[in-house]
Amino acid sequence: MAASRYRRFLRLCEEWPAEDSKRQRDLGSFLRQRVAQAFREGENTPISDPEACDQMYESLLRIHTNFYKNKYPRLKDTTFTGVTVEDCRTILATDILKQMEDMKTGTWKRLREKFSAKKPEEDSS
């Protein structure tokens, strides 16, 4: 039975798309890492709780197939703020988040240097 569970998870990992815009932060790469950890011995891995394993697979499959998105369709593809799905993807891209972090660090550094810098008069005393 463990072999069939392992093959189902592998098939799910193959089908799950990897988002290039979210390097090292996307759900597909996380899923691949967790499956590799859980099935270290491949098909020969003993499964302590088969029901939980099956439930996890079914839950991931529902996410992958957009089960609830299709079951409960939305009237509009925006949030209450008016931001579209594509805008959210752009904002959450790794490059944009890195730029924002660099901007924050830059501002913090500037403020720290401004307030902690000694005046030339203090150095001569």
| pLDDT at residue 28, rounded to an integer | 86
| pLDDT at residue 55, rounded to an integer | 95
pTM: 0.61
Residue 125's Cα: distance from chain center in Å? Answer: 54
pLDDT level of residue 118 (50, 70, 90 thresholds): low
Q: What is the pLDDT averaged over residues 114-123?
A: 59
- Given a cut of 70, whether residue 49 has pLDDT beyond it is yes
Q: Delimit the domains of the chain by residue range.
A: 1-73, 76-117
3-state secondary structure 2-33: HHHHHHHHHHHHHHCCCCHHHCCCCHHHHHHH
80 Cβ neighbours under 8 A, 6+ residues apart = none
